[in-house]
Amino acid sequence: MSRSKHTDPKTIRAGRRLRAPREGRGVGDLSRRRELGGKHKDAGAGPHESQGRARHSVRAVGKSSNAAVTNRGAQRTDAPYQKGWPGLRIVVRESRSGFHHPADKQDILEMLKAVGPVAFYGLRSIELARSPANALISMPVFGRYCAPGRIILFEQSMSPWRLSGLLKGDVARRLERADAVVTRLTDVGATLVHWPHDTLRRFMLEEVLLHELGHHVLQHHKGKRPVRIARTRDHESFAARFAEKHRLALMKGRSL
């Protein structure tokens, strides 16, 4: 079954558009080649000759339609694409006293590279920011996706954390799956969370960043609109599946 280049899977389409962001929509279109071949055949050309002319015509159309656009945007776009991170900015804001950014810029770039083009196609910025002023002391805020194409990873307090109140069971299990040591202090109504070694860094990358990337992938490949294109429940479900899929792939890659 033939497939149009405009209905390619997200992984193929993202890679193609990153490699040639200004490529015309008709470049490499087989239907155009067949159309030109049919015209040459009607004009009396032989089958082999018409096929050769059609192939040459498609190349000519692709080159001529993109030459002007490529020349106009060469100085503006060539350098970012050669670096491999087209249009992506990673902004690092200094953390407050007693806080830190568990994952740095290099960690983020390596994670994006591991996931592949589908992760950073259309992504505009990733910010390592300070915690929002309205953050609850009972539960830290890890990350946030802002359409279109903006991911924020918030600073975290130094380990161990002392949180007011008892963490809900699903939240505690999520942290424990990331190898955090969660201790409930029922007598004082508080929770201690200890992150051994680099477990918090891995949590921010493999849980938080991948989850926010899932939000971006769903949003960007459904029209790139600045408003949510799905209900919150569906958005969260897709992001969770995306993160789990790529987390398992990363674990499998480490074990090889």
What is the C-alpha separation between 140 and 132, in angstroms, rounded? 10
**Residue ranges of the alpha helices (H) in the chain?**
10-19, 30-42, 47-83, 105-115, 117-120, 169-177, 199-203, 210-220, 232-255
Closest C-alpha among 151, 126, 130, 125 to residue 214: 151
State yes or no: cis peptide before 160, omega within 30 of 0. yes
What is the C-alpha separation between 233 and 231, in angstroms, rounded? 5
Residues with Cβ < 8 Å from 5, sequence gap 6 or more? 13, 16, 28, 29
Give this prediction's pTM. Answer: 0.69
What is the C-alpha separation between 231 and 229, in angstroms, rounded? 7
Closest C-alpha among 195, 165, 192, 160 to residue 178: 195
pLDDT of residue 30: 59
SS3 152: strand
pLDDT of residue 61: 41
91, 140, 143, 150, 155 from 135: Cα distances, Å: 21, 7, 12, 19, 11
Q: Which two tokens stand for residue 170?
A: 């699903």
pLDDT of residue 132: 83
Sheet of 181-185: strand order equals: 161-164, 190-194, 181-185
Instruction: Report the 10 Å Cβ neighbour count for 69.
Output: 12
Question: Could you tell me how far CA 72 lies from the centroid of its own chain?
Answer: 28
- Tens digits of pLDDT across the chain (256 residues): 445 555 566 565 665 555 555 566 566 665 665 666 666 666 665 555 544 544 444 444 444 444 443 444 333 333 333 355 567 899 999 999 999 999 999 999 999 999 988 888 889 999 999 988 766 567 789 999 998 899 999 999 999 999 988 998 999 999 999 999 999 999 999 999 999 999 999 999 999 999 999 999 998 877 656 777 788 899 999 999 999 999 999 888 777 6
pLDDT of residue 154: 97
